[in-house]
Amino acid sequence: MTEESPKKSRLDPEPIARRDFLGLSALFAAASTLFFALLGMLKLPKTAVLSSPSKKFPVVLPDSLATGEAFIPQGRSVAVFRDEKGVYAISTICTHLGCVVKNNPEGFECPCHGSRFSVDGTVTKGPAPRPLPWLKVTRNGDKWLVDETTIVTPGTKAT
């Protein structure tokens, strides 16, 4: 208390030595506890198990299915095709913003922002950033198992 700067008013507070070590470490402890507690709480809304139905499903293709004609399993966003080289599946979820694309003889067409894809899923027009993915198909007796979680290189066909 040596400095003799004139006091401006009796209401000016006395200087307090706030930056004491204990005070600071207590503050730091409180802040980091709250921070990590918050981080921990974020684990709750991040689901570990997804509630959506199984991504692997069997398909029975009708005998009448022609080459290049799409078969859409009930309630799935997948188009299954058969040609002389084998069976393959292309996802019909638009890679732009997730609308379901419609199949037509020239390929696929998205109703939401007009992306177009060729018959093998390549983007030909519009904002879609990626081609439609080909999905893994395996044979299981007279059924075909489609696995929506596994993406294969375009052109892969199951026999």
Partner 1 sequence: MSTNTTNQNRSGLEKFWDNLRALPEYFRGTAFRTGVPNTDRTRSSFVFGNLFLHLHSVRTHLWSLKWSTTMGLGIITTAAFLITLITGVLLMFYYKPYPDVAYLSMKDIHFVVPTGRFIRNIHRWAANIMVVTVILHMARAFYTAAYRKPREFNWLMGIALLAITLAMSFTGYLLPWDQLAYWAITIGANIAQSPRELTDALGLTEYIDPGGLIRLLLLGSDNVGPEALIRFYLLHIMILPLILAMLMGVHFWRIRKDGGLARPVDAESRLGVLPTNTYPVFTQAPAKTYQLAAVVKGRTPLVGRGPESTVPSMPHLFYAELAVLMFTVFICVTLALISDAPLKELANPSVPENPAKAPWYFLGLQELVSFSAFMGGIGIPTIVMIGLGLIPFLDREENGTGEWFGGTGGLDVVKRATFIGLAVPIFIETIAISFGWIREWFPQTPQIIVTFINPATIITLAYALYSIYLVRRYNSTRAGALGLFTCFLCGFLVLTIIGTYFRGPNWVFYWSPLDWPKH
Burial class of residue 134, CB neighbours in 10 A (0-12, 13-18, 19+):
buried
Distance CA 145, CA 139 (A): 6
- Comparing CA positions, the residue from 100, 86, 91 lying closest to residue 150 is 91
CB of 109 to partner 1, least distance (A): 7
DSSP 138-149: EEETTEEEEEEE
Applying CB under 6 A, which of residues 87, 110, 132, 137 lies at the interface with ligand FES? 110
When asked if residue 79 is in the footprint of ligand FES (CB under 6 A), the reply is no
Residues that bind partner 1 (CB under 8 A): 11-12, 45-47, 50-52, 72, 75-77, 96-100, 109-114, 123-127, 129-130
Interacting residues of 77 by C-beta distance below 8 A, sequence separation 6+? 91, 92, 93, 100
Which stretches of the chain are DSSP H helices? 21-41
Comparing CB distances to ligand FES, the nearer of 102 and 157 is 102
Of 60 and 97, CB closest to ligand FES: 97
CB of 111 to ligand FES, least distance (A): 7
Binding residue for ligand FES, selected from 56, 85, 113, 130, defined by CB under 6 A: 113
Q: Does 126 engage in binding with ligand FES (CB under 6 A)?
A: yes
90 torsion bin: left (phi>0), alpha (psi -120 to 50), beta (else): beta
CB of 18 to ligand FES, least distance (A): 56
For the bound state, the minimum distance from the C-beta of residue 92 to partner 1, rounded and expressed in Å, comes to: 9
Binding site for ligand FES (CB under 6 A): 94, 96-99, 110, 112-115, 126-128
